[in-house]
Structure 1
Amino acid sequence: MKEDFKMAKSGALDLATGVGGSIKKKDVESAVEKYEKYHVEFGGDEKTRKTNYTDMVNKYYDLATSFYEFGWGESFHFADRWKGESLKESIRRQEHFLALQLGLKRGMRVLDVGCGIGGPLREISRFSFVSITGLNNNEYQIARATELNRLAGLGNSCDFVKADFMKMPFRDNTYDAIYAIAATCHAPDVFGCYKEIYRVLKPGQCFAAYEWCMTDHYDPTNESHKKIKAEIEIGNGLPDIRSTHQCLDALQKAGFEVIWEKDFATDSALPWYLPMDTSHFSLSSFPSTAIGRFMTRVMVRMLEFVRIAPAGSMRVSSLLEKAADGLAAGGRKEIFTAIYFFLARKPLTES
Structure 2
Amino acid sequence: MVSLGNFSLDTGWVADNQQNLLIGGAAGLAALGLLYKRSSRDYKKSPSSFQLSGGAVDAGEVKNTVKEYYGEYNTLERGKGAVMKESQKVADLVDKFYSLVTDLYEWGWGQSFHFARKLPNRDWSASEVAHEAWAAATIRLGPGKTALDVGCGVGGPMRTVAGVSGGNVVGITINEYQVQRATYHNEKQGLSGQCKAVRGNFLEMPFQAGAFDAAYAMEATCHAPTLEQVYSEVYRVLKPGSIFMTYEWVTTPRFDPSNTQHVACVDEIIIGNGLPDMRTWKQAEEAGKAVGFNLLESRDVAQASAAAVQPWYMRLGGNVPLFRWIGAFNGSIVAVMEFLRIAPRGLSDVHKMLFDTGVSVMEGGIEGIFTPMHMLIFQKPADGESQQQQQGKEDEEDKAAPPTYAAAAAAAPSASAKLANGKGGKSTA
| Alignment partner of 2:142 out of 93, 105, 125 | 105
Give, in whole Å, the separation in 1 of the partners of 2:357 and 2:212: 34
- Determine if the alignment matches structure 1 residue 137 to structure 2 residue 158: no
Instruction: Name the structure 2 match of 1:88.
Output: 125
Q: Is the 8 A contact 1:132 1:159 kept in 2?
A: yes
Q: Distance in 2 between matches of 1:329 and 1:280?
A: 7
Picking from 34, 56, 60, the partner of 1:26 is: 60
Verify: 1:119 aligned to 2:153, yes or no: no
| CA-CA distance at 1:185 after TM superposition | 0.4
Alignment of 1:214-253 (within 5 A): 214-253=251-290
Q: Which residue pairs with 1:202 in the alignment? A: 239
What SS does the aligned partner of 1:48 have? coil
Of 291, 314, 322 in structure 1, the residue corresponding to residue 348 of structure 2 is 314
Query: Among 301, 325, 329, which residue is 2:335 paired with?
Result: 301
In structure 2, C-alpha distance between the alignment counterparts of 1:278 and 1:297, rounded to whole Å: 19
The letter for the 2-side match of 1:202 is K
Tell me the SS of whatever aligns to 2:365: helix
Cα pair 2:81 2:267 within 8 Å, conserved: no
CA distance in 2, matches of 1:217, 1:51: 31
Shift of the 49–65 alpha-carbon distance from structure 1 to 2, 3 Å rule, reads farther
Max Rg structure: 2
Q: Secondary structure at the match of 2:143?
A: coil
Provide the aligned length of Structure 1 versus Structure 2. Answer: 335
- 2:40 equivalent in structure 1: none
- 1:146 to 2:183 alignment: yes
Cα distance change of structure 1 residues 179 and 246 upon mapping to structure 2, 3 Å threshold: same
- 2:148–2:215: 8 Å Cα contact kept in structure 1? yes
Q: 1:333 aligned to 367, 375, 395, which one?
A: 367
CA distance in 1, matches of 2:252, 2:145: 34
The 8 Å contact of residues 320 and 359 in structure 2, kept in 1 or not, is answered as no
Name stretches of at least 5 consecutive residues in structure 1 with no aligned partner. Answer: 1-7, 282-287
CA RMSD in angstroms, aligned pairs only: 1.9
Aligned-residue identity in percent: 37
Counterpart pick for 1:168 among 195, 199, 205: 205
For 1:272, give the aligned amino acid: W
The TM-score with structure 2 as length reference comes to 0.75
Q: Which stretch of structure 1 is more off in the superposition, 87-96 or 112-121?
A: 87-96
Superposition map of 1:4-43 within 5 A: 9-14=46-51, 16=52, 19-39=53-73, 40-41=75-76
Q: Do the aligned partners of 2:231 and 2:288 also contact (CA within 8 Å) in 1? A: yes
> What corresponds to 2:315 in structure 1?
275
1:158 aligns with 2:198: no
Partner amino acid, structure 2, of 1:41: L
Structure 1 residue 276: Cα displacement: 2.4
Following superposition, the deviation at residue 81 of structure 1 comes to 2.1
CA–CA distance in structure 2, aligned partners of residues 331 and 289 of structure 1: 14
What is the alpha-carbon distance in structure 1 between the residues aligned to residue 220 and residue 194 of structure 2?
A: 22
